[in-house]
Structure formats: C-alpha cells, structure tokens
Amino acid sequence: MKKFTLTVLFFVVLLPIYANSIDSLSKSDQIRIYSGFRFGFGGAKQRNTVINSQDGKFLLNPNIGAVLWVRFRQHIGIMAEINYSMKGIRFKDEYKDTINIFQRKIHYFEFPVLLHASIGTQKFTEFFEIGIAPSYISGFYDEVSSYVDKEPVKTEYQEYYYNKPLPLPTQRFDLSVVIGAGMSVKLGPGLLHTGFRTNIGLMDIYKSDRIGYINQNQRQFNFQVQFGYLWYLKSFN
C-alpha cells in the first residue's frame, strides 16, 4: 500500500510538469544544452527489526557523477545522470560491558532521469527537480567491530556472521523516486549548482527477513547534499 501511494503521488506531481515542459518546448525559441559533473555526500535511514527495532545511524555516503541537462526556454528542462553512490547504515548494540557496532555498505551505479523546473534570472535561479533513478548494485559489504571495556575484541557475532562470504542480493537492480531542490549561480562559461536530494526506495533487494545481524529489508530513505558545475555546450532552435 505504501509503495502504491508513493507511485500515485509521484505521477500526480510528474504528469503536470511533463505536460508543461512539452508545451514550453513547442513555444521555445531556443534549446540550451549543458554538461558537467556533480558530487556530494549524504546518509540513509533504515529501521532494523533485529537489533531491538532500533533506527540505524547514517554513515557519510559519497556520491559522484556526470550530468547532461537539456533546458527548454528559461524554466523547464530534463536532466540525465550517471552516478556512483555508496549508501550505508550503522547500528550500535550494547549489552553490559560489550558494545557491537555493525555497518552495512551498498555500492550503486545510478541512472537518474529528472524533470527540472526553475525560477529566477540568467544569473541566479532556484530549482525543483523530480524523477526516477534506476540503479545497479555493484557491491555489498557488512562489517562489525566489538569492544569490551572500550578494548577491541573478537566475539561470537564476528565468528558466526562475518567470517564467511556475504551473500549478494537476490535482486541486483533497484528503483527509487528522487525529489530535490537547490540553486544555480552563473559562473564563467557555465552554472554552479548546489542543493539537496531525497531518494525514496521502492524495492526490496532481498526476499527474506534477515542476513547476519541486520535485517535484509534494504528499502531506504536516503538524503544527499550536492555540488556541481555545468558547462554551456550549445543552443539551437
């Protein structure tokens, strides 16, 4: 039900913007093309039902990518990207004088396609973007550290869950809805971008409930802070 609601909300917002972009294209005198790069960092939120139903703390997740932006008129455009992203979470389990810290890291190649709407002038604009991001999982890692009286030790958790190869996800492809906002400033031959994004995962990459000490459900709420630069390439009617 939650997945269905998110999908409906996505298309309710998306379709009017898409229709407006097509109308803008038909009225436009000029289409401008930009290309560049983006990078940033973020975090993910996931609830763990194995460790006392606690929420995971986010790890600092890097992301970097290449961007192609086709702008129709001044305010509407479509942005396509190829990104690398690492999404990770961290759980802490304490029992008496023992502390276990679990970390899960998933490496993605993402392919977002976004509708990009902006308001402002040639020199400064504020923008809103929404789209979808198919992705491929290229790596999957679990780590654990255990401490007794603040001294590192080996525990049964490490022996049982982590001294063996970690099974890969049964589903290597993922899909998320992307929503973002930010601002652009004209700088030199192009535009300096900064903003934030939220990725709302729509799929579970595992079919069962648990792997190791962290449950397998990997549907995540991920947020990112981003920076980038887009060079102006060409324009045509």
CATH code (residue 102):
2.40.160.20
Mean pLDDT of 167-196: 87
Q: Which residue has the tokens 């977002």?
A: 112
Q: What is the pLDDT of residue 100?
A: 73
**194-229: burial string, b at 16+ Cβ within 10 Å, e else:** ebebebbbbebbbeeeebbbbbbbbbbebbbebebb
Put residue 53 in one of left, alpha, beta given phi > 0 → left and psi -120 to 50 → alpha: left
Q: What's the pTM value of the predicted model, to 2 decimals?
A: 0.72
Kindly state the tokens that stand for 94: 């304490």
Q: What is the pLDDT of residue 151?
A: 66
Domain extent for 79: 2-27+35-236
Which run of H or E residues covers position 15? helix 2-27
Mean pLDDT of 116-122: 88
Structurally, the chain folds into a number of domains equal to 1
Band the pLDDT of 163: cuts 50, 70, 90.
very low
